Structure 1
Amino acid sequence: MAHASDGRSMEFKLPDLGEGLTEAEIVRWLVEVGDVVAVDQPVVEVETAKAMVEVPCPYGGVVTARFGEEGTELPVGAPLVTVAVGEGETAAGGPARERGAGDGAAPTPAAEPPAAEPKPEGSGNVLVGYGTSEAPARRRRVRPDRPAATGASGRANGRVRAAEPVGGAVGTAEPLDGPVPVISPLVRRLARQHDLDLRELTGSGPDGLILRADVEYALRAAAAQGGRTADREAGAGGAPAGAAAPAASPSDGTRVPLKGVRGAVADKLSRSRREIPDATCWVDADATELMRARTAMNASGGPKISLVALLARICTAALARFPELNSTVDTEAREIVRLDGVHLGFAAQTDRGLVVPVVRDAHVRDAESLTAEFARLTEAARAGRLTPGELTGGTFTLNNYGVFGVDGSTPIINHPEAAMLGVGRIVPKPWVHEGELAVRQVVQLSLTFDHRVCDGGTAGGFLRYVADCVEQPAVLLRTL
């Protein structure tokens, strides 16, 4: 494996991935320590609250260190890798020069933070030293998927976890004055809810910054410690006869972290429910003629037209007649902002949770273009390749929950939009058609809207127009 020659070490930090994202989880490393990388070569795949992306390194040379194992969450600005580049080379320079395999990698300058020791294969937890070479080292146990954060002096940042002694020796640290640095107020609230003292934690972020993963890890460790203590007490004295079983506690069961896509969805839905006074109206519609029109379109040759594309085309026509629903509310200015273009979001279920890709400029697309764009975005969503730009900027959402086999729903509006059209399953039902009872293809349509942007009359008019187009697709010809 090639190594860098007399070069200098460049530290590449997790860049700002846009859209206000503050952290990302390492999904997969694409390089190993000692690999030669070219300028702009992807070195790691990360998952943000929006999507999974590959992060390219702006330096060419030899990778001398990696920071964080797969599964670790890193804040923006935290070190990802260090690269030994050739002398005089910059981010725009060429690849690092090579030397013999026996020469070893170029040393990292003393000012650079040392990388965490790699975990040997087949080993358990990694033991990371704490202290200087002049004093007896205190050691703390670190999860294999979260290496210790280190500073320029080589000491582990933060404080010793009092609940994690190794070899019978417990390291103590004097409490620090002032606020404890945390990644976000949510971390501080999580610790407060569980009566957890943040001063007892060792932050794995840069400069000892305490991340959400640190708090969750401490809570799991405390729960496990409490379980072991209870077992020892039960084994020593035994449970008294007739004693009732202990009540379930919040620590029982399986905990699933709210992070990545699921965490972003949770935050957005909570904000929508807090800020938007929503209301829902619904109507049943006879979709028989719409299904026949689609069959006729696809029988004429050319690309197949999807049902969701026809519904999207109906939505854009309805929004042209009722622009109040293609808007957002500026709460600070106390203004309703009516938007010119329709960027249509649609709900897509993936293995990583619910995402809402956005079809740009849906109001100027025909059914074929809409079908192709829906297919492209759906495939990218399931593969985790959606970019932040493809997941933001929507002005109206189409939610086809009929694919789950349900008839109706009252969904939560996709903040900061003002409305969402829901479409249930299309099923045969008895229906009065032209004065006689007949079996027709019936669908339930619902509109959830922000009551600040319009009243019930506008919302009802929008939904009635959509239903009319579903029942008589020729109505669309008036707006084409």
Structure 2
Amino acid sequence: MAQVLEFKLPDLGEGLTEAEIVRWLVDVGDVVAIDQPVVEVETAKAMVEVPCPYGGVVTARFGEEGTELPVGSPLLTVAVGSAEDTADPGASGPASGSARTSDADADGDSGSAGETSGNVLVGYGTGAPAARRRRVRPTAFTASPSSTAPAREPAPEGAPHIAAAAALAPAPVSARTRDTEDRGPVAVVSPLVRRLARQHGLDLRHIAGSGRDGLILRTDVESAIRSTEQQSSAAASLEARPAPAAAGPVAGERIALRGVRGAVADKLSRSRHEIPDATCWVDADATELMAARAAMNGTRATGTTPKISVLALLARICTAALARFPELNSTVDTEAREIVRLPGVHLGFAAQTERGLVVPVVRDAHTRNAESISAEIGSLTEAARAGRLTPAQLTGGTFTLNNYGVFGVDGSTPIINHPEAAMLGVGRIVAKPWVHEGELAVRQVVQLSLTFDHRVCDGGTAGGFLRYVADCVEQPALLLRTL
């Protein structure tokens, strides 16, 4: 027999407790297949498409686009049914393929043998074995003059479970579950473009896209925003009237700390609160490093081989330095009052994106050469800018490299990426007067800053690490000893 199952916002992993609905991918009344993505949400770490573990007819949606929901809150309900039950109503016992009971959690509990996959979030999973997937075919709908809910035509032969599920679905229009008017498809691919339009109250259906096949680009939305602001400003100037003097201080603009910005604020505040950090820095002559990089990229075997970035060379130097000073590749267990030295180096690097500052992680960086690190950094950076990084790619780092020189600044005092023990900051590489081999010369100089947790080591260890990094920058041949 058919029944209505509730699908709750699943645990997206890595300690995430809430997510914002960016875009619904289904409407009430739509037929969905098992593991079909039904909603796109934004967490503090990434954009994620959430698949539904049930196959059937969507009967309700909970939350409008832009709403922030905690993990465990209802997302939608789906009417599902058993083909065996519908085909043989006189059967005395439940069919072996019947759906889970309506009070079952949507997390793939063992003991449920229904039409669910066990994979609440594809790519992360629940650990439960996946059920055999069955193709679901949409049911045609026709309007019924005698009821507010649209009548369903008989299901196609071979899909009686869809007919049974559709019979339980309410009218597809609900004040709680969908807008008062049909939105219709729009030529937008990027969720960032949709979010920008939503934040400024723009209807994407009224924006002409300048991209290929009418694709709406970010520049199109920004142009529409400027046009709207200009019209609003003109209207305000016509209606302006002298205003009485303010009786008190003028309230400023309030911006919610949520999403990526909220996550960054929480992590930095916790770092400052828990970690007794200290910073040391040194200027280094990077002329030889830049020459070595030019030689590496100038002797590539083929034109398709990617270039090795400066950041990748610095990352390789860091892994060599951490092998000599493992104290800085550790974390502190405050409850046990223990320092935990970590066996491998998972190197994070700071990347600025439209969503804010993120720190993708190069896994097992200590096992990679400069070419491999460079390729991985390039791949993760591209994914970060497109908003495609997964929570797993943004967590688990043991040491962070921050190249703030790309912003045209020489130095900074980095804040440690909690719960790590250190961060190396790199300023811009710029031509400066420098004493080289006893004579004044113009050299390529960079400032290196190391912020470290004073609980894991003293200044001698931190200074030794930073000095080794600087020596490798000035004399890249030193790295040959550890290769």
Aligned partner of residue 24 in structure 1, secondary structure: strand
Q: How far apart, CA to CA, are the structure 2 residues paired with 1:120 and 1:108? A: 19
Task: Give the alignment partner of residue 43 of structure 1, picking from 38, 42, 47.
Answer: 38
Corresponding residue for 2:247? Answer: 246
- For 1:170, the equivalent position in structure 2 comes to none
Structure 2 counterparts to residues 256-267 of structure 1, below 5 A: 256-267=255-266
Corresponding residue of 2:298 = 299
2:13 is the counterpart of 1:30:
no
Output the amino acid matched with 1:101: F
The question of whether the paired residues in 2 share the 8 Å contact of 1:62 and 1:96 is answered with no
- CA distance in 1 between counterparts of 2:310 and 2:6 reads 50
Where do residues 275-354 of structure 1 align in structure 2 (5 Å cutoff)? 275-301=274-300, 302-354=305-357
After TM superposition, the structure 1 stretch with the greater mean CA deviation from structure 2, 424-433 or 380-389, is 380-389
The letter for the 2-side match of 1:33 is V
Distance between the aligned counterparts of 1:462 and 1:246, measured in 2?
58
Alignment partner of 1:368 is 2:371: yes
How far the C-alpha of 1:30 sits from its partner, in A, is 1.3
**1:460 pairs with 2:468:** no
Q: What is the rounded CA distance, in whole Å, between the counterparts of 2:67 and 2:444 in structure 1?
A: 50
Q: Which whole-Å CA distance do the structure 1 matches of 2:139 and 2:467 have between them?
A: 74
3-state SS of paired residue (2:442) = strand
**Aligned-partner Cα distance in 1 for 2:257–2:283:** 36
Over aligned residue pairs, what C-alpha RMSD do you find?
Answer: 2.2
Asked if residue 116 in structure 1 is aligned to residue 176 in structure 2, the reply is yes
TM-score normalized by the length of structure 2: 0.70
Answer whether contact 2:428 2:447 (CA < 8 A) is retained: yes
* Alpha-carbon contact 2:2-2:168 (below 8 Å) kept: no
User: In structure 2, how many angstroms separate the alpha carbons of the residues matched to 1:342 and 1:117?
Assistant: 47
Distance across 1 between alignment mates of 2:481 and 2:134: 60
Q: Relative to 1, partners in 2 of residues 1:18 and 1:437: Cα closer, same or farther, differing over 3 Å?
A: same
Q: Relative to structure 1, is the Cα distance of residues 98 and 366 closer, same or farther in structure 2, using a 3 angstrom cutoff?
A: closer
Per-residue deviation, residues 287-346 of structure 1 (Å, max 9, x unmatched): 000000000000111431111100000000000111110110010110111111000000
CA contact (8 A) 2:450 2:466 kept: yes
Aligned partner of 1:246: which letter?
A: A
Q: Alignment partner of 1:459: what SS?
A: helix
Which residue among 142, 157, 168 is the counterpart of 1:107?
168
Aligned mates of 2:258, 2:135 — CA distance in 1: 36
Structure 2 gaps, min length 5: 83-97, 100-114, 117-130, 143-150, 153-165, 184-197, 200-240
Q: Distance in 1 between matches of 2:5 and 2:337?
A: 48
Specify every segment of 5 or more residues in structure 1 that has no aligned partner in the other structure, as ranges.
Answer: 1-5, 124-143, 146-233
1:96, CA displacement in angstroms?
A: 4.4
Deviations 1:115-155 (A, max 9, x none): 715332399xxxxxxxxxxxxxxxxxxxx99xxxxxxxxxx
What's the counterpart of residue 382 of structure 1? 385
Cα offsets for 1:29-75 (capped at 9, x unmatched) = 11122222111111111111111111011111222211111100011
CA displacement, residues 386-412 of structure 1 (integer Å, 9 cap, x when unaligned): 111111111000000000110000011
The offset of 1:108, in angstroms, is 4.6
Alignment of 1:2-401 (within 5 A): 7-87=2-82, 88-89=98-99, 90-91=115-116, 92=131, 94-96=134-136, 98-102=138-142, 103-104=151-152, 105-108=166-169, 116=176, 118-121=178-181, 245-249=246-250, 252-301=251-300, 302-401=305-404
Judging changes above 3 Å, is the alpha-carbon distance between structure 1 residues 36 and 7 closer, same or farther for their aligned structure 2 residues? same
8 A Cα contact 2:28 2:177, kept in partner: no
Distance in 2 separating the partners of 1:36 and 1:117 = 16
Letter in 1 for 2:465: F
Indicate the SS of the match to 2:168: coil
Return closer, same or farther for 1:287/1:315 CA change in 2, 3 Å cut-off: same
Deviations 1:172-206 (A, max 9, x none): xxxxxxxxxxxxxxxxxxxxxxxxxxxxxxxxxxx
C-alpha displacement of 1:479: 1.1
Percent identity for Structure 1 against Structure 2:
80
1:85–1:295 CA distance, 2 compared to 1 (3 A):
same
Using the TM superposition, give the Cα deviation of residue 84 of structure 1 relative to its aligned residue in structure 2, in angstroms: 1.8
Query: How big is each residue's C-alpha offset from its partner over 1:343-402, in whole Å with a ceiling of 9 and x where there is no partner?
Result: 000000111111111100000100111011001111111111111111111100000000
Please give the TM-score of this superposition, normalised by the length of structure 1.
Answer: 0.71
CA distance in 2 between counterparts of 1:320 and 1:34 reads 59
Go from structure 1 to structure 2 and tell me whether the alpha carbon gap of 1:314 and 1:95 turns closer, same or farther (over 3 Å shift): same
For the residues of structure 1 that align with 2:255 and 2:49, how far apart are their CA atoms?
25
Matched with 2:454 is 451
2:429 alignment partner in structure 1: 426
What amino acid is aligned across from residue 415 of structure 2 in structure 1?
I
Does the CA contact (< 8 Å) of 1:65 and 1:115 recur in 2?
Answer: no
Equivalent residue letter for 2:79 = A
Contact kept? 1:61, 1:86, Cα under 8 Å: yes
The structure-2 alpha-carbon separation of the partners of 1:27 and 1:98, relative to structure 1 and needing over 3 Å to count, comes to closer
**Residues in 2 aligned to 1:278 and 1:374: alpha-carbon distance in whole angstroms:** 27
The residue type equivalent to 1:42 in the other structure is P
| Paired residues of 1:402 and 1:424 also in contact (CA < 8 A) | yes
The yes-or-no answer on 1:436 pairing with 2:430 is no
The answer as to whether partners of 1:37 and 1:63 remain within 8 angstroms in 2 is yes
What CA distance in whole angstroms lies between the structure 1 residues aligned with 2:20 and 2:419? 26
What is the rounded CA distance, in whole Å, between the counterparts of 1:41 and 1:477 in structure 2?
A: 51
Alignment-derived partner of residue 103 in structure 2? none
